[in-house]
Structures are given as structure tokens and as C-alpha cells.
Structure 1
Amino acid sequence: MAASSGITLTSGMRANLYSLQNTNSLLERTQKRLATGQRVQSAVDDPVNYFTALGHRQRSQDLASRKDEMSESVQLISAANEGVESITALIASAKSLAQSALSASTTTEINTLYSQYKEVLNQIDQVGEDSGYKGVNLLDSTAITHTVKFDENGDSLLTITGFDAAAQGATLSLSTHGTNAWVSAGGTADKAEINSAISKLDGARSALRTEAQKLSTNLSTITIRQDFTKGMINTLEDGAAELTNADMNEEGANMLMLQTRQSLGTTSLSLASQSAQSVLRLF
């Protein structure tokens, strides 16, 4: 500054000025840390900590997206499970109708029960068709699969396979016949045919329980991974904070000390300039 302006400072003034400039720089940095709560705000402050924290936060954001995807997968399985529970209730209703037909005494009564039985099977089909979530229906067929990705790269995953929940599909294997399917040649209840229907209903119920168990296992796995991912997100965020956040108590103490130093530096510079001012007394 002296060379460019042609002004010559005494060594004492120069030393005090330099000290005051450093104090003001530290004071500005401390004020910024107190305002933002961070001691590392850019790569200039600390390249290693800055980029390490940035990596932690980026991974945390990726995992947060995966966590949202897992939440959607949970809803998909819940929708399928709702369908399974409703179909199970409909199978119980169909079985009750078949059992009533065994003791029915007239052809009209038997045919009425069978007609109601077929309607229940039709409702099973409709429930299966309505059990989708966001365009994916796990009760549609075994060709339907849904992949849940757990890690940020998608290397850790779970594939969920659907099943055919239609009444006459591969899983339930329920069948219907003609109008008088439960009526024997003599006009009474065809117990062999009705018992066969009851047996198939029992088999369908068992098959549904097996599929429900698979859904439950998948749901449990996803829920566990959700909790794990939530913990990892918190760990990464805490790690990034430890690398970049400022200690507010320490910075507050620094602020008080720097303000005191600034005041003393101003006073010291004023005292150092008095020797130069004494020259004026000669005139």
C-alpha cells in the first residue's frame, strides 16, 4: 500500500494495521459461521470435508428417493392384501351357499343357490381386477412382477411376483357348469358335485393363505429395509453435519474475543500514529 500510494507508515503503525486487518477478516468469517451455522460452506474453506460431506448428502438424497419408492411398494402390497382378504371372505360365502345346497329340498331352491354361487365367483374375479395400485395388480397373474430397489445404485433389490386370483385361474381353480349343475337326475341335490365344489373352495382358501403369507413376508422385508434406510439417511446427514457445521458456542466465544481484539487494535493503531502526529508540533 505504501509503494502504490507513496505514503510511508511507521513500523508500529504497519504492524498494528496488519493485526487489525487480520482481526477484521476473522471477525467476518465468524459472523458468517454464526449466521449460517456452518464452518465449511465451500470447497475453499476445507476441500476434504466439503466434498466428503457433499458425498454423504448426495447419497442421503438418493436413499430418500428409494425410501419413497419403498413406501409406494408397501401400498401396492397392501392393495393386493386387501384383495386377498376380500376374496377369502367371498370363498367363505360361496362355501356357505354350497353347504346350504346339500340340504335343499327342491330343484328351484338348489338352482337359486347355485346361481348365487356363480355370482359370488364373478365377484371374486371383479375383486381381483380391482386390487391394483398405480397400474400394477399383483392379483392379475404370475407374469406380473414388481421390483423394489433398496440401495442408491439399485444393486440391492427384491422382486415380488403376482398370482392369478381369478376364480377359474391357476391359483384358485374354481369352476362353474350349466344351469342345473347341482341338481341330480332325480331332481335332488347332486351331493357329489356339490362336495367337489366345496373341496375346491377349501383348496382355493389354502392357496390364498399361501399367497397371503408370501405377501406378508415381502411386506415385512420392505418395512425392515425402510427402517434401515431411514437410519442410514440419519447417519449420513449426521456425518455431513459433523464435517461442516459450526460449534455455535465456540463461534460465539470467538466473536466476543475478536470484538475485544478489534477494539484494542483500533486503540493501538491510534497510539502508534501519535508519534507521527508529534511532528506537527514543530510547525
Structure 2
Amino acid sequence: MADITLSSAVRANLNTLQSTAQFMSDVQNKLATGKKVNSALDNPNSFFTASGLTSRANDLSTLLDDMGQSTQTLKAADQGISSITKLVESAKAKANQALQTQSQYERKQFAAQYNDLLTQIEDLAKDSGYKGKNLLAGEGNDLRTIFNEDSTSKLDIEAVDYTDTALSTGLNLSDLAEGEGASASLQLQGGKTVITLQDSGGSALNTSSTLSDSTLISTTQSLSFVNDTATNPAVLSGGVSSTASVQDLVDGLNAIAGVRAEFDNGTGELTIYSDEDFYIGGNGSATTSFAGTLVDATAFSSTTDALINSGSFSVGDTLTLTDGNGYELGSFEVEDDSTVDDLENFINDFNGVSADFDTGSGRITITSETDLSLTSDNDDFASSGFTANTTGIGISAISDSGFATDTDINRTVDRLNTALSNLRTQASSFGTNLSIVENRQDFTKNLINTLEEGAGKLTLADTNEEGANLLALQTRQSLASTSLSFAAQADQNVLRLF
């Protein structure tokens, strides 16, 4: 190609076309990329400055994603605290309900429900995590949020532990004792005998008659009350002389624990009931039975046995079930046809109490989930060995529930109030941290935009300007092509000479 010689006009036009083509290529590249600086060759200062700005924007964009995850972690913890607060309020409501009743059984049920709520609180705390981070699960779950590229700006959020409500550094709410019941038994036994007191004429004595008026008693006799259960029968305290009245004898018998006497003025019949083997001794002797008056006390063997066949019961007696707080569960009035089955059903009517009668031993066993007492207005109730039992049958539970007393409940309410206060404080703390992270998110977004905008001002092309440049270059190219054609035609005119 070096041997080819172009005229100056053609060469000038050719150089112009080549230059224009190069300019058009540059402009088209700017329009295609949208940048006026695509490499360090275009503008080293602008290129490297923009690269620094873009790199920082990219770093901040990564941190922005981490901030977003921190925000979600905080929101999960805040939602957990909100739900836990509702459960603690429910637990407080249970405690207040327990205060409204004196029934130990009902309080025991409220204590169990309270414990169920604490279990739900722990489970809810365990489920309040986000992507493996749980601010309510304590150690190992602290959250660090970084705000700048060199990690000098950061926020550390300390986790709390609500997964164990008993922790003193957490809610400090321990499970309540639900209590363990116990049982006690009552021996049901008795017997009776009937003595007919008549005078020599066959007429029945009355309560005002003198005992010596009876054909059974001489004027020199005295009567004693004898415990026949002993190996050597012993005379019990008391006794009457032959000069005493029938009423004195009845009163003397009724004064003995576990013994009941009834006298019929119409028939002269003296009926004696006793919980233990018992008889009336003649002339104060413990070995001489008066008129064969032995009362053979045997254990009740059927649920149909009448209660009044025992010295512990009489018609009109009122039996009362009361728990350890003095709360009366109910009462039962003994009637002449009341049976063991009636007593058993009465006890079984109440929640947390059951009764079981053993026909073999004649014992009725009462089982209660709480402290309980079965008492009677009859002093002879549950007497044993001719000794009165004025306190009736008492059951002391192995352990009481955590809501057994008002003091226990009020102590729990105080702890619940403290827990609620701690929850609100912690919610406020998480809320403040969330506000900080969200504020830094907004700031970082705006800063990224600022950095990218600054980089763009250094590298982005003005498409309007470059479009105009391309149009001008296209016009220039067209004119250069025409000029080249003219120059070529001038060289061709020389050929016409030949």
C-alpha cells in the first residue's frame, strides 16, 4: 500500500472520515453504556474517584441488608414480649381469681393453671427467634449491628432469658406447688341393747321414776358403767345409785363418750347404743352385769347399715366438711334412715374429695387433695375407747398448693407485677434499639444514594448531549463522504485527457 499515492485532497478527506468514525464510535459507546468514563483511559481521576464512591456504596448496601435482618430479629423479640406480657397478665388474673375464693380445692386448680401459663411463657420465649438469633433466649443470642465499613459504628443489643421463668435475672416466676393430698379413716361400728324398766305392777317407769321402783334394781344396789373391751373390765367414771331417777341413768349414760341412751316413757324401754363393748355393772362391780345389759359393738359390714346404730351418730346430728381455710364444702344431717351409703355419697359429692367404705373392716377412708376435716355437732362423733374426739376426722395434706393462703397469693401477685414492669422496660429497650436501627437504615439508604449520585456525576454521560454529538458526527461524516467523492472526481478528470 506504500506504493499507492493519494492526492492531498483525497487524503485530507479520508483523514476527516476516519476521525469522524472514531468520534462516532466513542459517542455510540457512551450512549450504549450510559457512561462517559468507562475505564481509567477515559479519565483516570474521575474513574478512580467514582470507583471509590461505588465501592463504599456497595459495602454500605451489604451492611444495609444486615441492618434489615437485625430489624426483623428485634421485631420478633418485641412480638414475643408482647405475647408474654399477655400471658403474665393472664397469670395475674388467675392469682386474683384465687383470692376471690377460700376453697383450697379451687385454689389448687388455679395454681395448676398458673403453672400451665408459665410453661406457655417459656415455650413462647423459645419460639421468638429469627434466623437462629433469639433475643429472649439469653446467653449466646446477643445481637451486634454494624453501621459503617470499618465496624467502628455499631450497636450491641444484650439478650434476656425468658425461656426459664424462674431465673431471677428474667421474670423471676417460679412454678407453684400444686399440693399433694392425703387420707384418713373413720371406724364405723356400734351395737345396742334394750332394757325394759317396769315396776312390780308391770307398769312402765318414766324418766322421773326412781330406779329402785324397777323390779330389776333393789334399794341397796348401785349401778356402774363398765368398759368390757379391756382385758380386765374396768369401771368407767360415773355411775348412779338406786335412789337416782331414770333420767339420771340416761344422763349418766349419755355423758360417756361413744355411748348414747334413749328412754321411751310409754314403754319404759331404755335403749343403749355404744361404739365399744359396754355394759352396766350391778352394785358397782365390774364383773356383774346388770340385767344382761351387754352392748356388743361390731364393725359395720354393709353400706345399708344405719348410722344411728353407732354411738357416734344420732338423729339430727349435722356433719360438716371444711377445708384448711375454714371453707365449708357442705353439711349432712343424720336422719333415722341415714345409712353408710348416704354418708359415703355425701363425701363423694365434692371435688377433690372421695370416700371408700371397706365392708371387711367397717372403716370409711376419706381421701382429699387438700387439708380437710369432717366434724359433727355431736361430741361422741369419731370417739374411740370411750374418749371423745371433738375435732372430728382431720386430713393434713402432704403439701399445700402455692395458692393455699392469701399471703401466698399476694406474694405471687407482687412477683407478677414486678415481672410485668420488667417486661415493659425490656420492650421499651428493644423499641429504642429498633428505632436506632431503623434510623440508621434510612440514613444508610440516603448515603448510598448520595455516593452513587456522586459517582454518576463523575462517570455518567449526558445522553442528550451525546445524542446531539452523534447527529452532528453523522452529518460531518456525510459531508466528508461527499467531499471525498468530489476530490476523487477531480483526480478522474485527468484520465479524460487520455
TM-score greater than 0.5 by the shorter chain = yes
| TM-score bracket relative to the smaller structure | over 0.9
Alignment of 1:39 onto 2:36 = yes
Secondary structure in structure 2 of the residue aligned to 1:158: strand
Match of 1:224 among 433, 439, 442: 439
Q: Deviations over 1:149-180 (max 9, x none)?
A: 11122221111101121311222111234223
Q: Normalized against structure 2, the TM-score is what?
A: 0.54
Instruction: Describe how 1:264-279 pairs up with structure 2 within 5 A.
Output: 264-279=479-494
Distance 2:462 2:133 in 1: 49
Name the counterpart of 2:166.
Answer: 168
Question: How much has 1:226 moved relative to structure 2?
Answer: 0.3
Question: How much has 1:218 moved relative to structure 2?
Answer: 0.5
Question: How much has 1:277 moved relative to structure 2?
Answer: 2.0
Q: Letter of the aligned partner of 2:177 in structure 1? A: G
Name the counterpart of 1:71.
Answer: 68
Alignment of 1:213 onto 2:428 = yes
Question: 2:115–2:176: 8 Å Cα contact kept in structure 1?
Answer: no
Question: 2:144–2:154: 8 Å Cα contact kept in structure 1?
Answer: yes
Q: Deviations over 1:215-245 (max 9, x none)?
A: 0010000000000010011111111221111
Q: 1:143 to 1:196 in 2, by over 3 A?
A: farther
Q: Normalized against structure 1, the TM-score is what?
A: 0.92
Name the counterpart of 2:457.
Answer: 242
Name the counterpart of 2:117.
Answer: 120
Secondary structure in structure 2 of the residue aligned to 1:5: coil
| The structure with more radius of gyration | 2
Question: How much has 1:204 moved relative to structure 2?
Answer: 0.5
The total of aligned residue pairs comes to 278
Q: Letter of the aligned partner of 1:199 in structure 2? A: D
Q: Which has the higher strand share?
A: 2
Question: 1:50–1:243: 8 Å Cα contact kept in structure 2?
Answer: yes
Name the counterpart of 1:257.
Answer: 472
Q: 1:249 to 1:242 in 2, by over 3 A?
A: same
Alignment of 1:109 onto 2:106 = yes
Distance 1:7 1:92 in 2: 102
Q: Letter of the aligned partner of 2:3 in structure 1? A: G
Q: 1:143 to 1:271 in 2, by over 3 A?
A: closer
Q: 1:187 to 1:62 in 2, by over 3 A?
A: farther
Instruction: Describe how 1:50-199 pairs up with structure 2 within 5 A.
Output: 50-141=47-138, 144-165=141-162, 166-169=164-167, 170-180=169-179, 186=325, 189-199=404-414
Name the counterpart of 2:15.
Answer: 18
Question: How much has 1:257 moved relative to structure 2?
Answer: 1.0
Distance 2:84 2:161 in 1: 12
Q: Which has the higher helix share?
A: 1
Percent identity over paired residues = 46
Distance 2:493 2:72 in 1: 85
Larger mean Cα displacement after TM superposition, 111-120 or 238-247: 238-247
Q: Letter of the aligned partner of 2:11 in structure 1? A: R
Distance 1:16 1:104 in 2: 111
Question: 1:147–1:158: 8 Å Cα contact kept in structure 2?
Answer: yes
Q: Deviations over 1:226-275 (max 9, x none)?
A: 00010011111111221111111111111111111111111112222333
Question: 1:107–1:187: 8 Å Cα contact kept in structure 2?
Answer: no
Q: Deviations over 1:86-130 (max 9, x none)?
A: 111011101111011112132211100111011111111111111
Name the counterpart of 2:211.
Answer: none
Question: 1:67–1:226: 8 Å Cα contact kept in structure 2?
Answer: yes
Q: Letter of the aligned partner of 1:123 in structure 2? A: Q
Structure 2: where are the runs of 5+ without partners? 181-322, 328-403
Name the counterpart of 1:27.
Answer: 24
Secondary structure in structure 2 of the residue aligned to 1:148: strand
Distance 2:178 2:489 in 1: 119
Question: How much has 1:143 moved relative to structure 2?
Answer: 5.2
Question: How much has 1:137 moved relative to structure 2?
Answer: 1.2
Question: How much has 1:11 moved relative to structure 2?
Answer: 2.1
Question: How much has 1:51 moved relative to structure 2?
Answer: 1.8
Distance 1:27 1:102 in 2: 92
Question: 2:60–2:148: 8 Å Cα contact kept in structure 1?
Answer: yes
Question: 2:111–2:177: 8 Å Cα contact kept in structure 1?
Answer: no
- List 4+ stretches of structure 1 deviating above 4 A: none
Secondary structure in structure 2 of the residue aligned to 1:155: coil
Q: 1:60 to 1:97 in 2, by over 3 A?
A: same
Larger mean Cα displacement after TM superposition, 35-44 or 98-107: 35-44
Question: 1:143–1:161: 8 Å Cα contact kept in structure 2?
Answer: no
**Greater relative contact order (CA < 8 Å, ≥ 6 in sequence):** 1
Name the counterpart of 2:212.
Answer: none
